[in-house]
Amino acid sequence: MEHKRSAEIFEEAVKYIPGGVNSPVRAFKSVGINPIFIDHAHGSHIWDVDGNEYIDFICSWGPLILGHSNEQITAGIADMVAKGTSYGVPTAIEVEMAKLIVDAYKGIDKVRMVNSGTEATMSALRVARGYTGRNKILKFEGCYHGHSDALLVKSGSGTITYGVPTSPGVPADVVKHTLVTPYNNIEALEAIFNEQGDDIAAVIVEPIGGNMGLVPAERDFLEALRKITQEHGTVLIFDEVITGFRIAYGSSREYFDIEPDMVCFGKIIGGGLPVGAYAGKAEIMDMVSPVGPVYQAGTLSGNPLAMYIGKKQLEYLRDHQEVYKELEEKANYLAQGIRTHLQDLGLNYHVAQAGSLVCLFFTDKEVRNYEDAMTCDTEKFNHYFQALLEQGVLVGPAQYEAMFLSTAHTKEDLDKALVAIGNALRIAHNK
């Protein structure tokens, strides 16, 4: 497979953009190769600038649950553009979008649109702090909630429970209020709440961890979290930037039947355009300006083009909820196929699946948290990734990312991918 044109563009890109990319994981640096540059995509397939075709399991990291350039979703966008791209004055479509989200997610009353998942989580925390009058927040090791200062905290090991900025540029003063504890560990959660619970404004959690590979929260852990936050008057925030409208139409709220106080969305609600949202109970959301004193704003928030695409995608999902079962069956088929290859090769790697998300961990350990995830053999993953790419299968260029399935992935795609995965595993295994 030739990547000549991609290499040329990359050479130019690094001169003008840090690392040549606008988001680090796109650099393919962790897998030791240069990135491919994309020309176009359709359905479950994506083509690079050298004309190579791939079955795409990145799917823009989640927004494209109905596949790339889906005509049902994009139809009419040119007419919208002709009417203007942004007004800075409200439009009816923002109200329709808000109603759709509130109707889909049981227990929330009001929603505010923003432009990314990062903005959504950052804003939700501010509101929760304003609402409770407390400063501390709690997050879980290995969960990613965007790149705002307070959330760029990851403990280096399971024993560190207090915030350490992992990025220079985040002042220690800013993250001194961010507590970190291991995922899926009720004892550690209770210990931290026993000590500081009445000072914790909010707990933010990915109900299905999608940023340390794929690590679903265990039900009893989420139940304990709901109970303990309620007891301490702490706002429970579900970060559903990945899982929102993916794991079920009613998101993790429906999937686990557990109700948070606030929720953050991104990805699917924008259908590939830059959108995020945060939502919650009326008494919490009414803290937000101009009703309440907590300030949060956005020039392009509720952008009419983004609302148009996002709303059409959500309406499609609302009217075709059978797609969730279909997606789960496809993901299950893929996960089982991978497990069969592993068995044939005498490998005992862990394969995780939840809804339409699948992840192959290069470790024998069952992965329940960040520490388990760190046992992966990332060298082997890199060989695996490169071998997949050479065979026309694109997965996230890092061990700690899930494969995203869309309704556009056909059985033929999955069978082809499984053949490639078998070969790639063999290659990686023999290195």
Phi, psi of 189 (to 5 degrees): -65, -45
Does 272 interact with ligand PMP (rule: CB under 6 A)? Answer: no
Phi, psi of 304 (to 5 degrees): -60, -35
Q: Which stretch binds ligand PMP (CB under 6 A): 39-47, 124-132, 144-152, 194-202?
A: 144-152
Number of H helices, E strands in the chain: 15, 16
Rounded CA Rg of the chain: 21
Q: Which residue is nearest to ligand PMP (CB)?
A: 117
With contacts defined by CB under 6 A, how many residues of the chain interact with ligand PMP?
Answer: 16
Q: Which of 28, 140, 144, 193 binds ligand PMP (CB under 6 A)?
A: 144
Q: Which DSSP helix (H) or strand (E) runs through 384?
A: helix 378-390
Q: Is 39 a catalytic residue?
A: no
Shortest spacing between CB 412 and ligand PMP, in angstroms: 29
* Identity of the residue, 124 or 420, whose beta carbon is nearer to ligand PMP in the bound complex: 124
* Identity of the residue, 17 or 282, whose beta carbon is nearer to ligand PMP in the bound complex: 17
Distance CA 194, CA 181 (A): 13
Shortest spacing between CB 276 and ligand PMP, in angstroms: 6
Phi, psi of 248 (to 5 degrees): -170, 165
Q: Which stretch binds ligand PMP (CB under 6 A): 4-12, 14-22, 139-147, 317-325?
A: 139-147
Nearest to 395 by CA among 227, 213, 224: 213
Q: For ligand PMP, what does the binding mask look like between residues 99 and 138, x meaning CB under 6 A?
A: -----------------xxx--x-----------------
Find the binding residues for ligand PMP in span 322-361 (CB under 6 A). none
Q: Which of 112, 134, 139, 145 binds ligand PMP (CB under 6 A)?
A: 145
* Identity of the residue, 197 or 266, whose beta carbon is nearer to ligand PMP in the bound complex: 266
* Identity of the residue, 35 or 146, whose beta carbon is nearer to ligand PMP in the bound complex: 146
**Catalytic-role residue among 267, 312, 330, 380:** 267
**Catalytic-role residue among 144, 249, 255, 308:** 144
- DSSP three-state, residue 310: helix
- DSSP three-state, residue 165: strand
> Which DSSP state fits 397?
S
Contacts of 341 (CB under 8 A, 6+ apart): 418, 421, 422, 425
Phi, psi of 300 (to 5 degrees): -105, 5
Distance CA 7, CA 33 (A): 10
For 249-286, letters b (16+ CB in 10 Å) and e give bbbbbbbbebbbbbbbbbbbbbbbbbbbbbbbbeebbe
Distance CA 382, CA 262 (A): 37
Shortest spacing between CB 208 and ligand PMP, in angstroms: 9
Q: For ligand PMP, what does the binding mask look like between residues 251 and 270, x meaning CB under 6 A?
A: ---------------x----
Chain centroid to CA 275:
13
* Identity of the residue, 241 or 367, whose beta carbon is nearer to ligand PMP in the bound complex: 241
Q: For ligand PMP, what does the binding mask look like between residues 221 and 250, x meaning CB under 6 A?
A: ------------------x-xx--------
**Catalytic-role residue among 239, 261, 372, 413:** 239
Find the binding residues for ligand PMP in span 181-220 (CB under 6 A). 206, 210-211
Nearest to 97 by CA among 304, 321, 319: 304
Cross-strand bridge partners of residue 68: 43
Write a three-state SS string for 90-127.
Answer: CCHHHHHHHHHHHHHCCCCCEEEEECCHHHHHHHHHHH
Find the binding residues for ligand PMP in span 53-82 (CB under 6 A). 61
Shortest spacing between CB 398 and ligand PMP, in angstroms: 12
* Identity of the residue, 130 or 210, whose beta carbon is nearer to ligand PMP in the bound complex: 210
Q: Is the dihedral of CA 119, 120, 123, 125 positive or negative?
A: negative
Q: Is 286 a catalytic residue?
A: no
* Identity of the residue, 197 or 270, whose beta carbon is nearer to ligand PMP in the bound complex: 270
* Identity of the residue, 60 or 332, whose beta carbon is nearer to ligand PMP in the bound complex: 60
Q: Is 144 a catalytic residue?
A: yes
* Identity of the residue, 140 or 384, whose beta carbon is nearer to ligand PMP in the bound complex: 140
Q: State the pairing for strand pair 178-181/136-140.
A: parallel
Shortest spacing between CB 146 and ligand PMP, in angstroms: 3
Q: Which residues are annotated as catalytic?
A: 144, 239, 267
> By the criterion CB under 6 A, which residues form the site for ligand PMP?
61, 116-118, 121, 144-146, 206, 210-211, 239, 241-242, 266, 276
